[in-house]
Amino acid sequence: MRVEQFLHHSAAHAPAKTALVAGATRLSYAECAQKSAALAATLQHLGVKRDDRVLVFMDNAAEAALAIFAVLEAGATFSPINASTKADKLAYIVGNCRPRAILTQKKLAPIATEASAGKDIALLVAGTPEWEAALAETVPVAPHGGIDSDLAMLIYTSGSTGRPKGVMMTHRNIDAASASITTYLENTPDDIILNVAPLAFDYGLYQLLMAVRLGATLVLEKSFAFPAAIFETMRREKVTGFPLVPTMAAMILQMRDLVPGALPDLRYITNTAAALPEEHIQRLRALFPGARLYSMYGLTECKRCTWLPPTELDRRAGSVGIAIPNTEAYVAADDGAPVAAGVIGELVIRGPHVMQGYWENPTATAERLRPGRNPWEKVLFTGDLFYADAEGFLYFVGRKDDIIKTRGEKVAPKEVEAVLHAHPGIAEAVVVGVPDPVLGQAVKAIVVRTDPALGEGDVIRHCARALEDFMVPKAVEFRTELPKTDTGKVSRRLAAASLEFT
């Protein structure tokens, strides 16, 4: 099934039901279907054809949800871009996937304009008269002939090489992943899901896709900066589902006046992106006694890998569980053969949710997608080290590469180092993740400066001009030399080890 059919079906079943609440905006399923179809017709009028790429460069606004479905409705492929992306990186993505159009919002339009300068790319900005006219378009969407084997989205993820890679997902991939996840969460059309995760992050994006698939209601928020205000919204909207990342859990647990049962309608909480400390799991369960807590693990390349049934939480709080329904997950040796319980190896994922590869990057694709059980299929090597217990429950051990997980987002040290090296006052730099109680890991830069006047603030400011917020180092340490291996190569591992003793 194609993903825009989720919206068609829900709009046909319950046209008057609230699909989306975003700030002061409330949209019914009928309104969402009408507006995204109108926007789709406008996109076609602007020259967007089947399989063209369209960037959706917005924060968590109602317009972003409409834009995503509009792109699919037009037969094209959407790519959701984090709203804190700077012009240089956006220009890289534009060059990489050559979009036909960019849908954005007023505050981001200058960045989109800069990144697409000199290229034949249509720009449509939410909140402008052109946007309003697009939503009022009455010309029907032209048939495009697309089927569910076509690409639905390209979602860019940080790679260890330092350049973002576009993960290719077909409609069928999304259909499979969303069917599997809504099965184990036991979602129903009565669910009301509150999402603050960015729609450019697959965890946030899938809250939208799954809510529309179910005919449920999505309450979309832009930020978790004010947890008390979010909780007020949750009480008012009678929210039943609350997806978290560990940083949000840490912020909730820092609240002082929260009493158990403050969210009486809450049916489930999910956590992914990084493991919750066991103490946080216990405190969350005490605060929200009526809610089941799901520990999950996944990566953009297959959306979600595993889930821990909440009934197992007391026995194996440190586990991320078992393969999600209709998929397989196993620990493998370097040759790809499954290993015995207790043995550490690389987690391998098999199933209909596994990506088609990285956009125009066969080398990186071949590293992750390798021959599998049958001659006609590929399985996903996750790059994450795991072991399984005797009953098959999986435990995360660490990553095979140096990717840092901070605030639930992946940061490639090389991407940050490339920006540091571009500073004229910096000779050498290495970037590592250091433990942080709220962020999980904090990005830290170790720098050898040639300009003695260069301070920590200068370095951070320089990074903030080029990198998304979550990639900007939280701390900078100056040294006269960087830790190197015997062969003279700067070593991130030795750098991280050297910090443990400081």
By CB under 8 A, name the binding residues for other proteins. 84, 107, 222-229, 232, 247, 251, 254-258, 407, 438-439, 456-458, 460-461, 464, 469
User: C-beta of 164: minimal distance to other proteins in Å?
Assistant: 20
Q: Name the residue nearer to other proteins (CB basis): 226 or 314.
A: 226
The Cα 291–Cα 242 span in angstroms is 9
Q: At closest approach, how far in Å is the CB of 102 from other proteins?
A: 19
Name which of 397 and 475 has its Cβ closer to other proteins: 475
For residues 251 and 385, which CB has a smaller minimum distance to other proteins in the complex?
A: 251
Strands 217-220 and 18-22: parallel
Q: Which is nearer to other proteins, 77 or 195 (CB)?
A: 195
- Smallest Cα–Cα separation from 322: which of 342, 293, 347? 347
- What are the C-alpha distances in Å from 149 to residues 1, 171, 283? 9, 6, 44
Supply the minimum distance, in Å, between the C-beta of residue 252 and other proteins: 10
Distance CA 209, CA 483 (A): 46
Q: Please, what is the Cα angle at 390 between 389 and 395, to 5 degrees?
A: 10
Write down the least CB distance from residue 46 to other proteins, Å.
28
- Residue closer to other proteins, measured from CB, 1 or 251: 251
Q: 97 with 115: CB under 8 angstroms?
A: no
Nearer to other proteins, 460 or 499 (CB): 460
Instruction: For the CB of residue 228, give the shortest distance to other proteins in the complex, in Å.
Output: 5
Residue 476: CB minimum distance to other proteins, A: 10
Q: Helix, strand, coil % (nearest 5) of the chain? A: 35, 25, 40
**Measured between alpha carbons, how far apart are the two ends of the chain, in Å?**
55
Q: Following CA atoms 240, 245, 246, 252 in sequence, which dihedral angle do they give, to the nearest 10 degrees?
A: -40
Q: Which is nearer to other proteins, 339 or 464 (CB)?
A: 464
How remote is the C-alpha of 108 from its chain's centroid?
20
* 428/488 Cα distance (integer angstroms): 13
Give the span between the Cα atoms of 502 and 448, in whole angstroms.
17
Smallest distance, Å, CB 77 to other proteins? 28
411: nearest Cα among 444, 387, 383, 386: 444
CB of 227 or CB of 383, closer to other proteins: 227
CB 430 to other proteins: min, Å:
20
